[in-house]
């Protein structure tokens, strides 16, 4: 008798007593669905966190100055000469032109722009590098014109990026802002001229933060103006090469990955600071923070899953119990089968497969229920978030991600449960003496 026949036979005999088969499965269904629900939730939280984290700007390395571990001298503030210079960063980037980029946002203070004779618009000047708008971390979209380019920085051009809100404030409804030159009066009293090269759109959250909903008069809102970083340095009288900073954000492109980026930065700065007694450059990877959260989540998920898996043992005992009853009930059948020439292995296989199939079907139903639970819980979470913290909703993409490993492991585990708890009853059936089985009343 071959394997497929045994499986068919097992299905047939499970179909005879559907209600009992289902009740037997129930323990397994509950156990597996609990495991899958928990792992789906754990996995989804991880996925959601990491998505959110990337949205909020996690995908850069932060390089900062720190005191060397083995420094024994007197602690002092970092001197100008210890600091990271823009020249160094440019040199580093030049070594890996298609892999690394610098991500800088420097607040240059407030400026005012005369709108008409009576109203001056207040703006915040932000100096950025060309890469800033390429980042997935910046969700602002250029809705008109273009972003600041590498050439804008390198050649210290006077182009600027304004916001949709500013366009509303400053221009007439159908006026094209691109190409218009604005005069910025800085707090220091200097006047700068920048030509608008593009318009970007604020997100809803940013509009909230700007106070769009509270402030009645549109002209009172302080919007952001983006200008090329190098241009701003030049205007403030510094040579880009001499610009120093105590930290810098380095990003990486798709041609590179975080580990390689770290390696490049270490290689470069370890050499640069090899002769510095007190200072060295340290790399902070925000993703590592994520890694820790993930580890904690994993531990919790696994711990709860194990507890849920224990319920599988209870389910398995249920299966064993029913199998023993069923075998007792079918003693005569076993006797007849043996009289007709069934081998012990045939009988054993028949009952083991029955037990495994019960557990496997229970496992499959459990997986289906577990995944469904994941989606239901995510829908509930979404509803709660929308009503409680709607302003953050756009940053948090709830992702339901059932854990494939968990699904395969639990299906495997349920089959194993069937095998473990089905084997003993099946062995008992197989070992029955044919005549005793036939005479069984």
Q: Which residues bind another protein (CB under 8 A)?
A: 1-2, 5, 12-13, 16, 332-333, 335-344, 346, 434-435, 438
Nearer to another protein, 8 or 263 (CB): 8
Query: Angle of helix 86-95 relative to helix 258-272, nearest 10 degrees?
Result: 130
- Which lies closer to another protein via its Cβ, residue 12 or residue 23? 12
Please return the burial class of 121, using the count of CB atoms within 10 Å of its CB with bins 0-12, 13-18 and 19+. Answer: buried
CB closer to another protein, 303 vs 435:
435
Cβ proximity to another protein: between 5 and 267 the closer is 5
Token code pair at residue 415: 């089959």
Q: Which of 14/227 has CB closer to another protein?
A: 14
For every residue of 318-346, which 3-state class applies, written as one string?
Answer: HHHHHHHHHHHHCHHHHHHHHHCCCCHHH
C-alpha distance across the termini of the chain, in Å? 28
Pair of tokens at residue 68: 């060397």
Shortest Cβ distance from residue 419 to another protein (Å)? 23
Indicate the SS3 state at residue 80: helix
Find the Cα–Cα–Cα–Cα dihedral 409, 411, 416, 422, rounded to 10°: 160
Contact 375, 398 (CB under 8 A): no
- Which residue, 12 or 307, is less far from another protein as judged by CB? 12
- CA 32 to CA 311: how far, in whole Å? 9
* Least distance between another protein and beta carbon 336 (Å): 5
Query: Which DSSP symbol is given to 55?
Result: H
Q: Which residue has the tokens 């182009």?
A: 159
Smallest distance, another protein to C-beta of residue 1, A: 6
The three-state secondary structure class of 86 is helix
Beta carbon nearer to another protein, 15 or 388: 15
To another protein, the closest distance from the beta carbon of 440 in angstroms equals 11
Are the CB atoms for 130 and 150 separated by under 8 Å? yes
Q: Which is nearer to another protein, 140 or 330 (CB)?
A: 330
Contacts of 139 (CB under 8 A, 6+ apart): 55, 203
What minimum distance in Å lies between the beta carbon of 358 and another protein? 17
CA separation for the pair 30, 359 (Å, rounded): 11
How many angstroms separate the CA atoms of 319 and 418, rounded?
7
Q: Minimum distance from CB of 434 to another protein (Å)? A: 5
CB of 345 to another protein, least distance (A): 9
DSSP letter (8 states) at residue 236? T
């Amino acid at each position: 008798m071959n394997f497929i026949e045994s499986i068919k036979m097992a299905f047939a005999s499970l179909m005879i007593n559907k209600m009992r088969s289902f009740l037997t499965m129930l323990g397994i269904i509950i156990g597996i669905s609990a495991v899958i629900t928990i792992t789906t939730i754990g996995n989804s939280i991880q996925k959601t966190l990491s998505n959110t984290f990337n949205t909020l700007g996690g995908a850069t390395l932060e390089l900062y100055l720190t005191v060397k571990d083995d420094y024994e001298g007197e602690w002092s503030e970092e001197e100008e000469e210890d600091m990271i210079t823009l020249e160094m960063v440019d040199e580093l980037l030049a070594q890996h032109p298609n892999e690394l980029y610098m991500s800088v946002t420097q607040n240059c203070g407030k400026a005012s722009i005369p709108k008409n004779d009576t109203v001056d618009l207040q703006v915040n000047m932000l100096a950025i590098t060309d890469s800033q708008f390429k980042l997935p971390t910046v969700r602002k979209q250029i809705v008109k014109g273009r972003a600041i380019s590498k050439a804008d920085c390198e050649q210290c051009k006077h182009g600027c990026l304004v916001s949709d809100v500013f366009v509303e404030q400053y221009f007439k409804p159908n006026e094209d802002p691109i190409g218009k030159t604005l005069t910025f009066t800085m707090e220091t009293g200097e006047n700068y001229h920048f030509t608008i090269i593009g318009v970007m759109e604020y997100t809803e959250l940013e509009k909230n933060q700007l106070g769009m909903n509270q402030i009645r008069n549109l002209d009172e809102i302080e919007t952001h103006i983006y200008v090329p970083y190098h241009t701003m340095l030049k205007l403030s009288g510094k040579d880009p090469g001499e610009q120093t900073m105590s930290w810098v954000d380095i990003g990486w492109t798709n041609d590179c990955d975080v580990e390689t980026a770290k390696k490049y930065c270490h290689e470069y700065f370890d050499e640069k600071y090899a002769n510095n007694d007190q200072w060295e450059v340290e790399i902070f990877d925000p993703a590592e923070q994520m890694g820790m959260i993930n580890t904690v989540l994993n531990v919790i998920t696994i711990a709860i899953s194990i507890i849920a898996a224990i319920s599988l043992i209870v389910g398995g005992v249920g299966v064993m119990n029913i199998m023993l009853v069923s075998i007792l009930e079918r003693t005569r059948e076993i006797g007849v089968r043996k009289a007709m020439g069934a081998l012990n292995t045939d009988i054993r296989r028949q009952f083991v497969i029955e037990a495994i199939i019960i557990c496997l079907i229970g496992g499959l139903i459990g997986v289906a229920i577990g995944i469904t639970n994941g989606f239901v819980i995510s829908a509930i979470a979404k509803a709660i978030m929308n009503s409680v913290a709607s302003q953050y909703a756009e940053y948090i993409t709830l992702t339901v991600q059932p854990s494939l490993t968990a699904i395969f492991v639990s299906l495997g585990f349920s089959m194993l449960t069937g095998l473990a708890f089905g084997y003993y009853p099946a062995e008992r059936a197989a070992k029955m003496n044919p005549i005793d089985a036939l005479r069984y009343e």
